[in-house]
Structure 1
Amino acid sequence: MENQPETSAKPRGYKYFDFVMAAFVTILLLSNVIGAGKVAQVDLPVAGMFVFGAGVLFFPVSYVIGDILTEVYGYAAARRCIWAGFGALVFMAFMAWVVVALPPAADWGNQAAYEAVFGQVPRIVFASIVAFWAGEFVNSYVMARMKIWTQGKALWSRTIGSTFVGQGVDSAIFYPLAFLGVDGWTTELVMIVALTQWALKVGWEAALTPVTYAVVGWLKRREGIEVFDTDTNFSPFAKSEG
């Protein structure tokens, strides 16, 4: 079936949209739960010891899936997924706070370890949720607009370009909001870490470009669509059809 151009505002049934959305939300939550709290290091041949937050390995994959959602299904469909991810993050933060705050049983001796793993600093949680929301919407908007400008060609320029801007917004919001003014975090250190993480995330996106091409091509063939957001309302708060 040849792909037919359409706008993302047109409701229709998709075969794989729910699976892509589930993958998006799953990776988003797991990268925040499992990777966010660990600082790792690797010994690189030339650069020497490199220290980084473990979450940077997997969180950018949510941006890759966000690109796939916008490219295949359009901005309106991606908007639904971003709000789903936002709601999931808020609930996860609330659930973690409640469970950690519950008094442990007298004979249960793992409270300290549980707090170390799932205990959250409210400022960092707030910064993470706000940065995700803003960064993902900017990423999807740039991706959709660039698809129109490029007439659907040069997918790599859209995936890397949108991630460059979206992750830039994410980093510019998260690190100052989470760490500026905190003991041990000078303004210079906040800027260095933000720029370093931004570069790593964009580089990770670029490295995954062949995977993005393969997944986008497969989904477009299976869904039989080619979406252009020519008539889309790009407000994050607009009601999505379908």
Structure 2
Amino acid sequence: MTEPMRITPIAADRVEAGRLRYYDIVMAAFVAILLLSNVLGAGKVAQVWLPGIGDWPFGAGILFFPISYIIGDVLTEVYGYARARRVIWVGFAATLFMAGMAWVVVALPPAPDWRNQAAYETVFGQVPRIVFASMCAFWAGEFVNSYVLARMKVLTAGRHLWMRTIGSTVAGQAVDSLIFYPLAFWGAEGWTPHLVVVVLFTQWALKVGWEVLLTPLTYWVVGALKRAEGLDVYDRGTDFTPFRARV
């Protein structure tokens, strides 16, 4: 019978990049979910019926965007802050490129016999203010999420993963929401200050709720990756500046 792979605690700066088997796959998953949640979910307002409340509208992107935070938790927990930081910068650059590409493609004059320009603009047209708010919120929120989780891991000596994942999401999503909604909608037509605050706290609570519900899955993925890599990375002595992409 094959013996289970031993998980070795190790400082983040002692990890050899060549021995990481699944880091690039997790990075690709993070970027893919980030881009798809922005393309497929951001522009649609969906509706569900809730008992005792009735019809309740919500932004469809909330179904999938929080998964990027969960993958961010997995990256930091398994591979350390520096490698999570690199992935955040890759995601930021990919989102910026996607926004620029969408603007160029929407702005191109359509062929005379192509009748779908209005629908295309509705789906892929992006308001610069909202794009700017989204980029700022993503960057700040993801780094807060990763920083809090990495520091808590050292302080708890690797115990209570649920506390770290939920605690980091509470902080990261709070920063994300506090930046995005005022920047994107404060003073905008149809958005009263009260509505901005209500939507801000509603979306924050829903995103944190997603993290709580998916905690068992997070445990399983983290455990499987640690066993596969044979490592348990701790950020002792890590430079936590967000302003670099090198590991």
- Residue 115 (structure 1) aligns with: 121
TM-score by length of 2: 0.96
Distance 2:214 2:245 in 1: 32
What percentage of aligned pairs have identical amino acids? 69
- Residue 227 (structure 2) aligns with: 221
Per-residue CA deviations over 1:153-181 (Å, capped at 9, x if unaligned) read 00000000000000000000000000001
- Residue 13 (structure 2) aligns with: 9
Per-residue deviation, 1:146: 0.4
- Residue 101 (structure 2) aligns with: 95
Per-residue CA deviations over 1:50-109 (Å, capped at 9, x if unaligned) read 110000010000000000000000000100100000000100000000000000011111
Q: Aligned letter for 2:66? A: P
Distance 1:201 1:208 in 2: 11
Aligned residues: 241
- Residue 156 (structure 1) aligns with: 162
Contact 1:40 1:53 in 2 (8 A): yes
- Residue 81 (structure 1) aligns with: 87
| Unpaired stretches in structure 1, ≥5 consecutive residues | none
Distance 2:229 2:246 in 1: 19
Distance 2:245 2:198 in 1: 38
TM-score by length of 1: 0.98
| Unpaired stretches in structure 2, ≥5 consecutive residues | none
Distance 2:243 2:9 in 1: 25
Alpha-carbon RMSD across the aligned residues, in angstroms, is: 0.8
Distance 2:32 2:147 in 1: 22
Contact 1:9 1:240 in 2 (8 A): no
What pairs up with 1:133-212 in 2 under 5 angstroms? 133-212=139-218
Distance 2:9 2:215 in 1: 23
Per-residue deviation, 1:239: 4.8
